[in-house]
Amino acid sequence: MDSPTPASARISIIGAGPGGLTCARILQQHGIPVTVYDRDPEANSRNQGGSLDLHEEDGQLALREAGLLEEFFALARLEGQEMRQMDPAGRVLDHHLPDEGETVSPEIDRGQLRDLLLRSLVAGTVQRGRTLESVSGPADGPRTLTFTDGTAVEADLVIGADGAFSRVRTAVSSATPRYTGVSFLEAWFDDMEHAHPELSQLVGKGSAHIADGERGLFAQRNSGGHMRVYIMQRVPVDWIAANGLRPEDTEGIRGHLLSEYAAWSPQILRMITDNDGAYVDRPLFALPVPHIWEHSPSVALLGDAAHLMPPLGVGVNLAMLDASELALALVHSSTIDDAVHSYEKSMLPRSADMAQKLEGGAEHLLSVPDSDEI
């Protein structure tokens, strides 16, 4: 079939994360209708995750295109750019304090960013409780989206913003994420200034990273007096069960971790022992490098659906830059096919280059920094 014009096309975005919502916002600003489908039944039905640093050259650029940069800075934490590098004894090896007014990469809670984008959309744009089961139909469209509730819709363009284990990706690529060999265990801390004053002083207002070559910790302050700590280990993907433990066995997991981190200082170990609530297992996956696919005029991928990489501060920024570039390509192209071609011409080389730079980067999170890195 002939590729339709963007203004007349049925455009469906799968996934209401920062990438999908940014794309929808910019399209609507230019009068292009779009529908976002998301599996969550409510906007706040699950925890949205920790803090994000949005960079001037990508995440902030996308928000500027979306007309939301000023509102972002009203929420962002400039002090969150503080970063401490420590050793397992608790000695500070390096300490970055942001300059007054520095805006290179301010922090914002993922939930706050999501809510900012949601508020900017036309009412009814996001259809909730819609879990995608499959994408079918010819490559030149229209595509049929079938959901697990038995409903189906047709789309002239399907935008996959549905994350690491994207269902949209399967329409154009057979690639699947692979376990990196490194796993995060997330721990939450509440009311830092009163309940955890020593840890608050240790970490500061931003983030702190500690590693010994085999294991590590990454602590990150969030808004509202909260903090998240990511306990990083080189372990099998099923390490909890392999050690005779269950995810809900908080005390058992804590005891195992204390034996693994036994050589670390008691002060640092409080990041393992003093958390409020259960741990959350988050094994790290990445797509093959490079991840490319045969062009389809009816499917576009962005963010982790296109280029899942280790979590080294680029994921959400690349997703939002992808979203901005795809939306603007649709605004300025005469057909959907032309827009996807234009978008992929810049996105694929950029993502391949970054993925190559970060390949094996999960291991870097565990490494002791060289003296010239400090």
196 by Cβ neighbours in 10 Å (0-12 / 13-18 / 19+) ranks as buried
Bridge partner list, 14? 37, 160
Ligand-binding annotation for 304, yes or no, is yes
What is the distance between the alpha carbons of residues 16 and 251, in angstroms, rounded to a whole number?
35
Q: Is 363 left (phi over 0), alpha (psi -120 to 50) or beta?
A: alpha
The sign of the torsion formed by the CA atoms of 312, 314, 315, 317 equals positive
Q: Is 10 annotated as a binding residue?
A: no
Give residues with Cβ within 8 angstroms of 374, minimum separation 6.
85, 93, 94
Q: How far apart are CA 159 and CA 215, in angstroms?
A: 37
CB within 8 Å of 246: residues ≥ 6 apart = 240, 252
Measured CA to CA, the distance from residue 319 to residue 304 in angstroms comes to 7
Structure tokens at 261: 């981190």
Please count the residues of the chain.
374
Tokens in use for 84? 């401490």
Contact 342, 333 (CB under 8 A): yes
| Residue 53 counted as an annotated binding residue | yes
CA dihedral in degrees (92, 93, 94, 97; nearest 10)?
A: 10
Q: Which residues are annotated as a binding site for NADPH?
A: 46
Q: Which residues are annotated as a binding site?
A: 46, 53, 110, 304
Q: Which residues are annotated as a binding site for FAD?
A: 53, 110, 304
